Chains A and B, each alone.
Chain A
Amino acid sequence: MLIIGENINATGKKIAEAIRTRNSSFLQELALAQVAADYLDVNVGGGKGSTEQEIEDMKWLIDIVCEVTDKPIVVDSANPEVIEAGLEQGISLRAERSNRVVMINSVNAEKAKLEAIGPLAAKYQVGVIALAMDDNGIPPRVEERIRACDTILEGLSYYNIPAKKIYFDPLVLPIGVDTTQGQVTLKTLEQIKARYPEAKTTVGLSNISYGLPQRVAINDVFLLMLMYAGLDSVIVNPLRSSTIGSIKLGEMLIGKDAHCKGYLKAYRRGLFNK
């Protein structure tokens, strides 16, 4: 299971402020704390300043994060120009650091998005997170989400991006608003795995528990169900030990942990004592 750490995201006010004031030590600590993550997602927010400002922010942020960790970076923005700046920064750092910007977050079935992100993913040879949605938002039903995935696969193949570089996100809507949505995500995930066996899957979980108490418990259990349905990666807060614990347990129980080594290692390191 590929764990993408979500903690450096400027939708959080503290983080937006730290980026604005160039508080590098605060942000570097956030990066360092995410030990349990395989990749680090990096997002500078958007909309409040100019595109130029966002580009500067993204370059700076990737630079200071790469100063303290060699974990691969996922460049996260709604603006393709900001994504490109992040990818370019990754290249320019290559000489001195071992990090790589390895993934784009994200594309969807919108034509303009595909035409902007497709060439970037091809040029920089990075993976791309692909949301199962189109211009009209998140479809409430499985069939429409799969149709969006078909459009994305076709759109990206035009730029010679192989399916194995695509991380489809089946998307999650709140169970508290519509109790069919757990199944919609699970079935969409199953169908993605069946239709495009080479493609990968990932998910941002927390929407499932919107409006309900005990959100972490709901997220962790849903994560296990998604793992059984074939999930390859997850975007989470890697500091949450119950979530990392769920991943270790899940990998063991579905047979992806030879001799239960991952689970036992986590146990011996005290992950389950917290």
Chain B
Amino acid sequence: MTAVQSPFAIGCGDFRVNYTQDMAIYKNVRVRRRVIFLVILFFLFPILAPEYYVSLATMAGIASIGAIGLNILTGFTGQISLGVGAFLGVGGYASALLTTRLGIPFWFALPLSGIFTAGIGALFGIPSLRLKGLYLAMATLAAQVIIYFLFNHWDALTGGTGGLVVQRPSLAGFSLDSEMSYYYLMLVILILTALFTLNLFRSRVGRALVAVRDRDLAAEVMGIDLFKYKIIAFAVSSFFIGVSGSLMGHYTLVITPENYGTQISIEYLAMILIGGLGSVMGSIYGAAFITLLPVVLRELMTAVREVFPNLESIFIGIKEIIFGGIIIIFLIYESEGLAKMWRNLKDYIKLWPFSY
């Protein structure tokens, strides 16, 4: 006679019988099913949602790719960078120049602009051997300022303040003009980026990078060439930031310097701080949060316009204050960010109603 199983019971015991299983990203079958289900939902999203929401999701997704890139460097390897804005720009301009001047198809220009940005990132990563913490932040800020200056003033190459105009890519004669098609492009690249990063940090090089963050002295004694691995971190990080910049450029169709200023660098730092340092999913939560925050605030203002007609004009000015306030609240109350809050919530639900 077979035992009757309660439909509410969760299968007891989570057995892993070999190391391959134990080293999987999602070790549990149920969790893996849930992740696949979520991914399917994201693929269905643009079919079900209005176009405006699809475009917001695309923006958030592209920012997520850049945020994952920054998190590789700052969250996982512990090297603060204030140069994200400029590196996004390097990716954007590289991709624009490759497609318009050299006539290279977007599909090659996208990875090439990533590789080019990786090279520039590695170059500006060289001071990281000698500089730590705030001093390194200053060095990367210098990179930001220098590159930003070039965007503005190297007219022959970058078109100066007017910028460059690019086109949407096309695939097999079908142009990705629609919101939906570009969303899918973003989604595929975001998933690849996330998978790559998750894999990286469960294997040899990723472990070495985390070791450099946690205790560089011990890392060196265990055989890690600090210089080499810091440069690797800068290069891999800049690769994804470059890809993100290229994707963003071909989405908004113009590439102008004002999209790549210092405030963008700060915004990306805020993304990974709020999302969670050293967490791939956290980067995505944080990017979505920062991208959607102004939209939500604006919607709120329009909603209450009838009741408080003056509120809107006041609030537009203090948007930045709310932004800063939220960052401070996160730093004080949950320094590990949204990723940690989500974990806590899951733990709470798992144990509910017997939380002790």
Are A and B physically bound partners? no
Q: Which positions in A face B, CB cutoff 8 Å?
A: none
Question: Using a CB–CB distance below 8 Å, which chain B residues touch chain A?
Answer: none
